Amino acid sequence: MQLAVFIQESEQILADWDAYSDQHTGLDGRPHDENAYGLRAGLRDAATWRAFNRTRRSAKGLVAAAEVQLHKLPASRIQSRWAWQLGALDAALGQLARLQWAWLAVQDSLLASAVPGTEAYDEALAERSAEAWHYLNEWSLHGQALLDIHAAALDHQPRTPAPPSHSPTAPLSSAKATGPRR
Protein backbone atom coordinates (compact mmCIF):
# COMPACT_ATOMS: atom_id res chain seq x y z
CA MET A 1 0.00 0.00 0.00
CA GLN A 2 1.34 3.42 -0.95
CA LEU A 3 0.43 4.88 2.43
CA ALA A 4 2.73 2.45 4.24
CA VAL A 5 5.52 3.35 1.82
CA PHE A 6 4.93 7.07 2.46
CA ILE A 7 5.02 6.58 6.23
CA GLN A 8 8.29 4.68 5.99
CA GLU A 9 9.87 7.20 3.61
CA SER A 10 8.72 10.21 5.62
CA GLU A 11 10.10 8.69 8.82
CA GLN A 12 13.46 8.28 7.08
CA ILE A 13 13.32 11.85 5.73
CA LEU A 14 12.62 13.14 9.23
CA ALA A 15 15.39 11.01 10.76
CA ASP A 16 17.82 12.36 8.18
CA TRP A 17 16.66 15.90 8.91
CA ASP A 18 17.03 15.42 12.67
CA ALA A 19 20.59 14.13 12.18
CA TYR A 20 21.43 17.09 9.95
CA SER A 21 19.82 19.57 12.33
CA ASP A 22 21.67 18.13 15.34
CA GLN A 23 25.00 18.51 13.54
CA HIS A 24 24.35 21.98 12.10
CA THR A 25 22.83 23.87 15.00
CA GLY A 26 24.26 25.23 18.21
CA LEU A 27 23.12 24.39 21.71
CA ASP A 28 20.66 27.27 21.43
CA GLY A 29 19.03 25.62 18.38
CA ARG A 30 20.21 28.27 15.95
CA PRO A 31 21.76 27.06 12.70
CA HIS A 32 25.48 27.57 12.16
CA ASP A 33 24.79 28.60 8.54
CA GLU A 34 21.24 29.84 8.01
CA ASN A 35 21.43 29.66 4.21
CA ALA A 36 22.65 26.06 4.15
CA TYR A 37 20.15 25.12 6.85
CA GLY A 38 17.30 26.71 4.89
CA LEU A 39 18.35 24.92 1.71
CA ARG A 40 18.46 21.60 3.54
CA ALA A 41 15.03 22.25 5.06
CA GLY A 42 13.75 22.91 1.54
CA LEU A 43 15.10 19.55 0.41
CA ARG A 44 13.32 17.88 3.34
CA ASP A 45 10.06 19.62 2.46
CA ALA A 46 10.28 18.72 -1.23
CA ALA A 47 11.21 15.10 -0.51
CA THR A 48 8.28 14.75 1.88
CA TRP A 49 5.88 16.21 -0.72
CA ARG A 50 7.20 13.82 -3.40
CA ALA A 51 6.80 10.87 -1.04
CA PHE A 52 3.21 11.85 -0.24
CA ASN A 53 2.29 12.64 -3.82
CA ARG A 54 1.85 8.93 -4.63
CA THR A 55 -0.75 8.74 -1.85
CA ARG A 56 -2.31 12.18 -2.26
CA ARG A 57 -4.89 11.26 -4.91
CA SER A 58 -6.27 8.34 -2.91
CA ALA A 59 -5.91 9.95 0.53
CA LYS A 60 -9.48 11.29 0.74
CA GLY A 61 -10.82 7.83 -0.10
CA LEU A 62 -8.56 6.23 2.49
CA VAL A 63 -9.89 8.54 5.20
CA ALA A 64 -13.50 7.97 4.10
CA ALA A 65 -13.04 4.19 4.06
CA ALA A 66 -11.46 4.26 7.52
CA GLU A 67 -14.38 6.32 8.85
CA VAL A 68 -16.85 3.73 7.55
CA GLN A 69 -14.76 0.88 8.97
CA LEU A 70 -14.47 2.65 12.30
CA HIS A 71 -18.26 2.94 12.62
CA LYS A 72 -18.65 -0.78 12.00
CA LEU A 73 -16.15 -1.85 14.64
CA PRO A 74 -17.31 -2.80 18.13
CA ALA A 75 -16.25 -0.33 20.81
CA SER A 76 -13.87 -2.90 22.30
CA ARG A 77 -11.79 -2.89 19.09
CA ILE A 78 -11.54 0.91 18.73
CA GLN A 79 -8.54 2.93 19.88
CA SER A 80 -9.78 6.19 21.41
CA ARG A 81 -7.30 8.25 19.37
CA TRP A 82 -8.51 6.97 15.97
CA ALA A 83 -11.43 9.37 15.55
CA TRP A 84 -9.22 12.32 16.43
CA GLN A 85 -6.49 11.10 14.07
CA LEU A 86 -8.97 10.75 11.21
CA GLY A 87 -10.05 14.34 11.82
CA ALA A 88 -6.42 15.51 11.83
CA LEU A 89 -5.71 13.64 8.60
CA ASP A 90 -8.80 15.06 6.92
CA ALA A 91 -7.98 18.61 8.04
CA ALA A 92 -4.38 18.23 6.86
CA LEU A 93 -5.60 16.92 3.54
CA GLY A 94 -7.83 19.96 3.14
CA GLN A 95 -4.87 22.25 3.76
CA LEU A 96 -2.71 20.29 1.32
CA ALA A 97 -5.39 20.61 -1.35
CA ARG A 98 -5.60 24.36 -0.69
CA LEU A 99 -1.83 24.68 -1.01
CA GLN A 100 -1.78 22.64 -4.20
CA TRP A 101 -4.50 24.81 -5.77
CA ALA A 102 -2.58 27.92 -4.75
CA TRP A 103 0.60 26.46 -6.25
CA LEU A 104 -1.21 25.71 -9.53
CA ALA A 105 -2.49 29.31 -9.62
CA VAL A 106 1.02 30.64 -8.98
CA GLN A 107 2.41 28.31 -11.61
CA ASP A 108 -0.13 29.62 -14.13
CA SER A 109 0.84 33.20 -13.30
CA LEU A 110 4.57 32.65 -13.82
CA LEU A 111 6.20 33.74 -17.03
CA ALA A 112 6.61 31.04 -19.66
CA SER A 113 10.36 31.18 -19.03
CA ALA A 114 9.81 30.20 -15.37
CA VAL A 115 10.40 26.46 -15.60
CA PRO A 116 11.89 24.00 -13.12
CA GLY A 117 15.43 25.08 -12.40
CA THR A 118 14.71 28.80 -12.65
CA GLU A 119 14.68 30.94 -9.53
CA ALA A 120 11.05 32.09 -9.93
CA TYR A 121 9.71 28.55 -10.35
CA ASP A 122 11.90 26.91 -7.73
CA GLU A 123 11.22 29.56 -5.10
CA ALA A 124 7.45 29.34 -5.59
CA LEU A 125 7.58 25.54 -5.42
CA ALA A 126 9.80 25.65 -2.32
CA GLU A 127 7.32 27.99 -0.64
CA ARG A 128 4.45 25.59 -1.35
CA SER A 129 6.47 22.64 -0.02
CA ALA A 130 7.54 24.57 3.10
CA GLU A 131 3.94 25.52 3.88
CA ALA A 132 2.85 21.93 3.26
CA TRP A 133 5.46 20.31 5.48
CA HIS A 134 3.44 20.56 8.70
CA TYR A 135 0.40 18.93 7.05
CA LEU A 136 2.57 16.25 5.46
CA ASN A 137 4.07 15.59 8.87
CA GLU A 138 0.54 15.11 10.22
CA TRP A 139 0.08 12.37 7.64
CA SER A 140 3.39 10.85 8.63
CA LEU A 141 2.43 10.90 12.30
CA HIS A 142 -1.21 9.80 12.03
CA GLY A 143 -1.37 7.86 8.75
CA GLN A 144 -0.70 4.63 10.61
CA ALA A 145 -4.19 4.98 12.11
CA LEU A 146 -5.67 4.29 8.67
CA LEU A 147 -3.67 1.08 8.42
CA ASP A 148 -4.57 0.09 11.98
CA ILE A 149 -8.29 0.70 11.43
CA HIS A 150 -8.18 -1.34 8.23
CA ALA A 151 -6.40 -4.19 10.02
CA ALA A 152 -8.94 -4.10 12.87
CA ALA A 153 -11.79 -4.16 10.35
CA LEU A 154 -10.29 -7.17 8.58
CA ASP A 155 -9.83 -8.98 11.91
CA HIS A 156 -13.42 -8.22 12.87
CA GLN A 157 -15.05 -9.35 9.64
CA PRO A 158 -17.52 -12.09 10.43
CA ARG A 159 -16.20 -15.44 9.41
CA THR A 160 -18.64 -17.06 7.03
CA PRO A 161 -18.85 -20.80 7.40
CA ALA A 162 -17.53 -22.79 4.50
CA PRO A 163 -20.27 -23.80 2.11
CA PRO A 164 -21.44 -27.37 2.58
CA SER A 165 -19.45 -29.69 0.45
CA HIS A 166 -21.38 -31.65 -2.08
CA SER A 167 -19.16 -34.64 -2.16
CA PRO A 168 -20.84 -37.41 -4.03
CA THR A 169 -21.53 -40.12 -1.49
CA ALA A 170 -23.42 -42.33 -3.89
CA PRO A 171 -24.35 -42.04 -7.51
CA LEU A 172 -27.92 -41.23 -8.39
CA SER A 173 -30.13 -44.19 -7.70
CA SER A 174 -30.70 -46.42 -10.65
CA ALA A 175 -34.45 -46.11 -10.13
CA LYS A 176 -34.33 -42.42 -10.93
CA ALA A 177 -31.88 -42.89 -13.73
CA THR A 178 -33.91 -45.62 -15.43
CA GLY A 179 -37.37 -44.39 -14.54
CA PRO A 180 -39.74 -43.10 -17.18
CA ARG A 181 -39.10 -39.62 -18.52
CA ARG A 182 -41.87 -37.18 -18.94
Q: Which residues pair with 25 in a beta bridge?
A: 31
Decide if pLDDT at 177 tops 90. Answer: no
Whether residue 170 is predicted with pLDDT greater than 60 in this model: the reply is: no
pLDDT single digits (tens) 26-69: 999 899 999 999 999 999 999 999 999 999 999 999 999 999 99
User: What pLDDT, on a 0 to 100 scale, did the predictor assign at position 168?
Assistant: 53
Taking only the tens place, the pLDDT of each residue in 3-18 is 999 999 999 999 999 9
Q: 139 vs 6, 73, 131, 156, CA distance in Å?
A: 9, 23, 14, 25
Q: What's the per-residue H, E or C state across the chain? A: CHHHHHHHHHHHHHHHHHHHHHHCECCCCCECCHHHHHHHHHHHHHHHHHHHHHHHHHHHHHHHHHHHHHHHCCHHHCCCHHHHHHHHHHHHHHHHHHHHHHHHHHHHHCCCCCCCCCHHHHHHHHHHHHHHHHHHHHHHHHCHHHHHHHHHHHHHCCCCCCCCCCCCCCCCCHHHHHCCCC
- The yes-or-no verdict on residue 157 having pLDDT over 70 is no
Angstrom CA distances, 166 to 110, 163, 169, 173, 175, stand at 70, 9, 8, 16, 21
Q: Which tens digits make up the pLDDT trace of 73-123? A: 999 899 999 999 999 999 999 999 999 999 999 999 999 999 999 999 999
CA distance 10 to 49: 9
Q: What pLDDT is attached to residue 1?
A: 77
Comparing 83 with 159, the larger pLDDT belongs to 83
Taking Cα atoms as reference points, which of 9, 49, 66 lies closest to residue 131?
Answer: 49
pTM: 0.79
In the predicted structure, residue 176 carries a pLDDT above the cut 80: no
